[in-house]
């Protein structure tokens, strides 16, 4: 009896191994991966994934067609042209949440991936809230998330703050009324700010600080009016924060603004934790020495989240290779290769986040906050609002830079929300 069992076990193991090998052998051809991760902290993670995937699937030829431009400002436009022009890439980067749902899922342009989730047991390995963000009402799930990023992080160099005699501000008010003037008196730029989209990134952290997690989320679910006194106060505080920034902000990428802090040209920068990837990998800085971090002023206790994910467009030239790629992306192995260099937390809860060799002090503190804070969705990075709102909002941000008119920016945002179905 025992022998028979053993035999059955050996044969099934062999068959299992054989089917894995043969499945991998069968997958071949080109696999075009579309993203906006082109370098300066963004590319390393993608390259780590591609390298391991290449070992697992040696007959697949990966074409990395990343389009430069932080936060996908250029890539998303190229993607729309390609998808609507009948020329989809095999797989593309998209944010979990409304960026995915309001456009690609609503237009029926991406395939459900439930079978991949079931085969891999992923319905139990990704947080339920995240699965919810990438599924429709019928329970069809459309993408595989590679990470959890945090948007509301404030970066600085501990030794520089000491040298300038300033503390990490406890809240927004302290930053605007104490820290910013103290630094300006010493001719130090208090806040490094970059191009247009990074300004809207700053705006969402200030909105969270002024409105609190419930009030902030209320903007997107309709419970906070865009023209309320509180919402106008967000614009006023945002205008004051812009006045604490560098004059050449429109000319700087997010990496330039992060670098300004690392090199002592500015005291603080508010950016997502892809900046940790940039500090760690590109600038080879040590956490808590070369760079320090805190929740963006006034947002302590809240974790503003977003998640990068990949899907399978309908009409993708090589769906078998995409399915192999996606089946790899969600594994703990892939997530542990990617996230320590990308600056994000693994989305798969079976990944090795407890391993402090792999996930240093920054990740440990982000993980602590992720598991204990109020979670809110990033507006800027596609979690809370559709792409249509985001494009219009970038114009409002640009207009506000010119006139600093809080009431009119608030009114324009209210109109944009109606036009794009936000909070309705
Ligand atoms: C975000 C994206 C991150 C990072 C960042 C800067 O939208 O989710 O992964 O790439 O843009 O480009």
pLDDT at 15: 44
| Degrees, nearest 5: CA angle 306-127-71 | 15
CA 140/CA 255 separation, integer angstroms: 37
308 C-alpha vs ligand 1 centroid, how far in Å? Answer: 8
Going by alpha carbons, the residue nearest to atom 8 of ligand 1 is 308
256 C-alpha vs ligand 1 centroid, how far in Å? Answer: 15
178 C-alpha vs ligand 1 centroid, how far in Å? Answer: 31
Mean pLDDT across the chain: 95
Closest CA to 152 of 303, 340, 347: 303
pLDDT tens digits for range 254-313: 999 999 999 999 999 999 999 999 999 999 999 999 999 999 999 999 999 999 999 999
Q: What is the mean pLDDT of residues 209-222?
A: 98
pLDDT tens digits for range 334-351: 999 999 999 999 999 999
Continuous segment of H or E residues that includes residue 94: strand 91-95
Pocket of ligand 1, candidates 33, 71, 94: which has the most ligand atoms within 8 Å of its Cβ, to mutate? 71
Going by alpha carbons, the residue nearest to atom 5 of ligand 1 is 71
Among 37-46, 142-151, 319-328, 390-399, which stretch is predicted with the lowest mean pLDDT?
37-46
Look at residue 19 and tell me whether its pLDDT is greater than 80: no
Among 3-7, 49-53, 69-73, which stretch is predicted with the lowest mean pLDDT?
3-7
Q: Look at the block and give the residue holding tokens 């986040």.
A: 353
Q: What is the mean pLDDT of residues 123-140?
A: 98
CA 198/CA 407 separation, integer angstroms: 22
pLDDT at 165: 98
Pocket of ligand 1, candidates 37, 66, 70: which has the most ligand atoms within 8 Å of its Cβ, to mutate? 70
Q: Look at the block and give the residue holding tokens 């989730």.
A: 117
pLDDT at 40: 83
189 C-alpha vs ligand 1 centroid, how far in Å? Answer: 25
pLDDT at 2: 42
Pocket of ligand 1, candidates 33, 34, 36: which has the most ligand atoms within 8 Å of its Cβ, to mutate? 36
pLDDT at 357: 98
pLDDT at 424: 87
Look at residue 22 and tell me whether its pLDDT is greater than 70: no
pLDDT at 322: 98
Look at residue 90 and tell me whether its pLDDT is greater than 80: yes
Q: What is the mean pLDDT of residues 111-115?
A: 98
Are 392 and 420 in contact by the 8 Å Cβ rule? The answer is yes
Q: Residues near ligand 1 with C-beta < 6 Å?
A: 36-37, 42, 70-72, 149, 254, 272, 274, 306, 308, 381
At residue 23 the predicted structure's pLDDT band, cuts being 50, 70 and 90, is low
Across the chain, how many H-helices and E-strands are there? 18, 12
391 C-alpha vs ligand 1 centroid, how far in Å? Answer: 16
Going by alpha carbons, the residue nearest to atom 1 of ligand 1 is 71
Helix, coil or strand: residue 267:
strand
pLDDT at 81: 97
Q: Which atom of ligand 1 is nearest to the CA of 254?
A: 6
Continuous segment of H or E residues that includes residue 376: strand 374-377
pTM, entire model: 0.94
Going by alpha carbons, the residue nearest to atom 7 of ligand 1 is 71
pLDDT at 25: 61
Pocket of ligand 1, candidates 96, 130, 269, 274: which has the most ligand atoms within 8 Å of its Cβ, to mutate? 274
Q: Which atom of ligand 1 is nearest to the CA of 306?
A: 8
Task: Give the percent of the chain with pLDDT over 90.
Answer: 93
Look at residue 12 and tell me whether its pLDDT is greater than 50: no
Q: What is the mean pLDDT of residues 361-376?
A: 98
């Amino acid at each position: 009896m025992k022998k028979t069992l053993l035999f059955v076990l050996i044969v099934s193991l062999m068959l299992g191994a054989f089917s894995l090998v043969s499945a991998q052998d069968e997958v071949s051809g080109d696999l075009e991966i579309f993203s906006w991760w082109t370098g300066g902290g963004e590319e390393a993670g993608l390259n780590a994934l591609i390298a391991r995937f290449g070992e697992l699937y040696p007959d697949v030829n990966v074409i990395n067609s990343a389009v430069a431009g932080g936060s996908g400002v250029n890539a998303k436009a190229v993607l729309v042209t390609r998808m609507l022009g009948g020329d989809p890439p095999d797989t593309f980067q998209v944010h979990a949440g409304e960026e995915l749902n309001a456009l690609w899922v609503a237009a029926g342009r991406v395939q459900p991936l439930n079978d991949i989730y079931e085969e891999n047991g992923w319905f139990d390995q990704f947080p339920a809230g995240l699965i919810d963000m990438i599924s429709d009402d019928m329970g069809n799930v459309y993408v595989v998330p590679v990470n959890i990023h945090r948007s509301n992080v404030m970066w600085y160099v501990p030794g520089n703050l000491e040298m300038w005699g300033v503390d990490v501000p406890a809240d927004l008010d302290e930053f605007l009324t104490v820290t910013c003037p103290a630094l300006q008196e010493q001719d130090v730029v208090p806040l490094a700010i970059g191009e247009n989209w990074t300004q809207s990134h700053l705006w969402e952290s200030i909105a969270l600080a002024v409105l609190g997690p419930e009030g902030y989320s209320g903007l997107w679910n309709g419970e906070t009016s865009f023209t309320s006194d509180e919402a106008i106060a967000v614009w006023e505080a945002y205008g004051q924060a812009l006045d604490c920034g560098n004059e050449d902000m429109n000319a700087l990428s997010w990496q330039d603004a992060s670098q300004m802090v690392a090199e002592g040209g500015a005291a603080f920068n508010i950016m997502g934790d892809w900046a940790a990837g940039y500090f760690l990998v590109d600038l080879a800085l040590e956490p808590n020495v070369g760079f320090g971090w805190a929740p963006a002023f006034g947002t302590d206790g809240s974790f503003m989240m977003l998640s990068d994910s990949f899907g399978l467009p309908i009409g993708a030239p090589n769906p078998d290779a995409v399915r192999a790629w996606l089946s790899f992306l969600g594994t703990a192995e892939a997530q542990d290769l990617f996230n320590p260099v990308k600056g994000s937390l693994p989305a798969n809860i079976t990944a090795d986040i407890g391993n402090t060799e792999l996930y240093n002090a920054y990740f440990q503190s982000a993980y602590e906050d992720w598991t204990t804070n109020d979670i809110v969705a990033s507006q800027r990075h596609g979690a809370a609002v559709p792409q249509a709102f985001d494009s219009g909002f970038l114009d409002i941000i640009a207009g506000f830079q010119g006139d600093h008119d809080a009431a009119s920016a608030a009114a324009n945002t209210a109109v944009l929300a109606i036009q794009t179905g936000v909070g309705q």
